[in-house]
Chain A
Amino acid sequence: AQSVTQPDIHITVSEGASLELRCNYSYGATPYLFWYVQSPGQGLQLLLKYFSGDTLVQGIKGFEAEFKRSQSSFNLRKPSVHWSDAAEYFCAVVLISGNTPLVFGKGTRLSVIA
C-alpha cells in the first residue's frame, strides 16, 4: 500500500542548532515530493518540492531537502534553526501519473528552545 511515514512525532532543538526531519515513502515509483509547514491555527505553506533533476532542492526560509531514491526518503534540513521555525511540518507525496490526491504524512511538531 502507498504510504508516507514521518517517524518523529515531536522534535525539540535549540535555537541555532541544525535540524533534520525525516520522511520515507512507500510507492511503486518515484512520486512528486513536498514539504509543507503549518504554524498554529494557520493554513499550510509550501516549503519546497521535488519533481525531478537535482536531488538536493532549496526552499523558502533557508530549508533544503534531499531526495534519496535508494532509501525512499526525502528528509528536510536546516543548518541553523530560528525560534520562528517552531511549527508542524508535513511531508506529502503524490503519484506522478496523476488523478490521485496528495497524501500527507502524520506530521512532525518542531519545538525550538532558547
Chain B
Amino acid sequence: DTEVTQTPKHLVMGMTNKKSLKCEQHMGHRAMYWYKQKAKKPPELMFVYSYEKLSINESVPSRFSPECPNSSLLNLHLHALQPEDSALYLCASSQEWGAGAGANVLTFGAGSRLTVL
C-alpha cells in the first residue's frame, strides 16, 4: 500500500460546527503532516508529527487541533472556523522527520476540500 487516504473528500461546515478531517497511511511512515492550500498557491505547512508526537506547529490558530492517535492515523479537528479557512487540506507522510533522504520524500493524499459558510 503506497497511498495516503484522506476523508472526507469534501466538507461543508458552518462557523459554529465541529468537524474532523482524517488521514491514514499504511506504509510504515513515522512522520505525518498537515498542509493547507489555497487556490493557485503552494501548500503551506501547518503541523508535523514525528513518532506520534507534535514536532512542528507553524503558528496555526487553535481552532485547528491536530491529533495523531497512532502511527497510521492523523486527524485534524476543526472548530469555530472562519470563511477564510476554506481551502484544500492535504495530508502527507514520510519515512521519518528530520535529516536524511528518506525523511524528506513526502507522499501526499488527494486532499479534503473544506468550505466554511
Contact = CB atoms under 8 A, between A and B. Distances in A.
Contacts, number: 57
A102 B33 CA distance: 11
Contacts of A34: 104-105
Interface residues of B, number: 28
Interface string B67-99: 000000000000000000000101010000111
Contact of A104 (B43, B100, B103, B110): B43
Given A32-B101, A44-B90, A101 B48 contact: yes
B7 interface: no
Given A104-B42, A104-B43, A107-B42, A41 B104 contact: no
B88 A41 contact: yes
B72 to A, nearest CB: 18
A44 B104 contact: no
Chain A interface size, as a band, is 20 to 34
Given A49-B105, A96-B99, A98-B99, A43 B42 contact: no
A94 B104 contact: yes
A104 B105 CA distance: 13
Contacts of B92: 44
Contacts of A102: 45, 104, 106
A83 interface: no
Given A46-B106, A101-B48, A106 B111 contact: no
Give the 6 A-B residue pairs with the shortest CB-CB distance, closest first.
A98-B99, A104-B42, A43-B108, A98-B98, A44-B108, A43-B110
13 contacts: A32-B104, A41-B111, A41-B113, A43-B6, A44-B43, A44-B90, A44-B92, A46-B107, A94-B104, A96-B99, A98-B104, A104-B42, A106-B41
